[in-house]
Amino acid sequence: MLSDIERCRRFSRAVTKVTGALDTSFLGRGRPLGVARVLNAIGHGRQDVGDVRAYLGLDSGLMSRILRTLEEEGLIIVTPDPDDQRKRRATLTPAGEAEYGEYERLSDERAEGLLTPHPKANPILEAMDLLASALLKDQWEVVELDPRDPVSRYCLEEYYAELNRRFDGGFDVKRSADPDAKDMIPPRGSFLVCLSDGMPLACVGLKGTDKGYAEIKRLWVAPAARGLGLARRMMADTEARARELGISVLRLDTNKRLPEAIDFYRKDGWVEIDRFNDDPYPDYFFEKLL
């Protein structure tokens, strides 16, 4: 009935209608939008004046005047940067903290107001996650974390839960050779997580061994981010990291219930090899020479 473009435009009309109000809601505390945006940027931890200016795309003159306004209101203090006296740093006063908190509260309230009319919010939240991840595609941030970090733990739990749903007879981490965290920390290995505006979207582990190869483990992509090419990106980043760590042979194993993964490895330059371990779960074994 509607073309792809019409569907897309309908979406953006709907969104600008509803969240347009949500965005302009910076108003409602008797402060112009520009001033409120600067206050919120500072509250979010951007202290460097030039940094805020670049982030919000403001002219230096305008920025300067906005800072004076906030200073006169007693919400911020601007001090010279000790390392470079030309630069200046803005910090919130207690009153500024309180005001920033109010904006946070109002934003939460708006967000909640967007959800409450819908008794079954889950499909809506999932659609939001998917779209946010897709729209922020060029702002994915891949970071190396300790596998015991809470963010890493979250990704791993999601990964195990999915395996448990999909494998015949479920999946129990304890029966699998749970890679020791130490093997996934540099210089022996690595653990990468992809964050998109605070949401963990994917993880992958590079596990060092003493057998002349390293293993790729725990490649997981959040349902909200599938089909966006994120698995390929994570693998490319891991391979780059492996090279940095002097690793030249990679191996991995996977299960027949994960056909999209098997397909992906084949397309991504992996070669099927014979079974190289006695883990009970995997059915397929791959190798890649860097």
| Interface with DNA (CB under 7 A) | 32-35, 48-50, 53, 58-65, 67-68, 78, 84-88
With binding defined as CB under 8 A, does residue 23 bind a copy of itself?
yes
> Least Å distance between CB 92 and DNA?
16
With binding defined as CB under 8 A, does residue 38 bind a copy of itself?
no
Name all contacts of 94-100 with Cβ < 8 Å and 24+ positions apart: 96/39, 96/42, 96/43, 96/70, 97/43, 99/29, 99/39, 99/75, 100/39, 100/40, 100/42, 100/43
With binding defined as CB under 8 A, does residue 120 bind a copy of itself?
yes
- What does 60 bind: DNA, a copy of itself, none (CB cut-off 5 to 8 Å by kind)? DNA
Which residue's CB is nearer to DNA, number 27 or number 131? 27
- What does 50 bind: DNA, a copy of itself, none (CB cut-off 5 to 8 Å by kind)? DNA
Tokens 């909200």 found at: 224
With binding defined as CB under 8 A, does residue 227 bind a copy of itself?
yes
In this structure, the strands spanning 84-92 and 76-81 are antiparallel
Chain Cα centroid distance, residue 140: 6
> Least Å distance between CB 93 and DNA?
16
How would you class 211 by CB atoms within 10 Å of its CB: exposed for 0-12, middle for 13-18, buried for 19 or more?
A: exposed
Which residue's CB is nearer to a copy of itself, number 137 or number 243? 137
**Contact footprint for a copy of itself (CB under 8 A):** 1-2, 4-20, 22-23, 107-108, 111-112, 114-115, 117-121, 123-132, 134-137, 151, 154, 197-200, 226-229
